[in-house]
Amino acid sequence: MRLTKFGHACVRLEDAGTTVVLDPGALTDPAAAYDADAVLITHGHFDHFVPETLKAAATANPDLVVWAPASVVAQLTGIDELAGRLHPAAHGDVLRIGGLDVHVYGEWHAPTHMDPINNVGYLVGGRVFHPGDALTVPEDSVDTLLLPSNAPWLKSIEVVEYAQKVGARRGFSIHDGLLNDVGLMVVDNILGVTSERTGQEYVRLPVGESTDL
């Protein structure tokens, strides 16, 4: 499986001819989703979900499908380009996308100063887990954790403790698109501590770079 990091919380996963893009929000180049077989949305905040991006991706690819919490699907209903391509995702679901099974975990966004909203995480191909804006621990084992590393709802110690609880074999930073170079240095330090505490490697992929898992 090949993982490519895009802006903020967006990644692309390619495996055995199937391409899945997660959370192409406002801090991500919209083109990241254009060649995907499916787009998975964790929740409805602007940095994870932009209706125009999904509309453009659907126009570029007539076979694209979109999975998201029901509240996000409701916001997209009525966009002609997405008609028949929207599917709700909820905790406990198993999605079949090309040759990949995707397990869905979680229900709610981490607590913030705003009203609660739904948030789901996706375990793609039994290997890579994207939690969205939550610290959900999947019931199944995780090979690669996409680790939120900066947010108004997140403390640095929570980053470390979450990685310990999930127990993945390795991890990569996501949710770091709000930071300047100094902030990214802080994230790298947090990832270093996370690696020490877990005994596994946690790193930050620069935007646009890929790695084979």
pLDDT at 202: 98
**For residue 207, what are its two tokens?**
């935007």
- Beta-strand (E) ranges in 58-198? 65-68, 86-88, 94-97, 100-105, 121-124, 128-130, 144-148, 170-174
Degrees, nearest 5: CA angle 124-194-211: 45
**For residue 148, what are its two tokens?**
């939120």
Distances (CA, A) of 63 to 7, 8, 84, 100: 24, 26, 10, 16
Residues contacting residue 101 through CB under 8 Å, at least 6 positions apart: 94, 95, 125, 126
pLDDT at 92: 98
pLDDT at 138: 97
For strands 100-105 and 121-124, give the pairing: antiparallel
pLDDT at 64: 96
Mean pLDDT in consecutive groups of 10 residues from the start of the chain, 213 residues:
98 96 97 95 97 96 96 96 97 96 98 94 98 97 98 97 98 98 98 98 97 97
Residue 76 CA, chain-centre distance (Å), reads 19
pLDDT at 112: 94
From CA 130, how far away is CA 71, in angstroms rounded? 19
pLDDT at 31: 94
Sheet holding 18-22: strands in order across?
A: 86-88, 65-68, 38-40, 18-22, 11-15, 2-5, 210-212
How many residues does this entry show for the chain?
213
> Which structural domains are found in the chain, ordered by start?
2-212 (3.60.15.10)
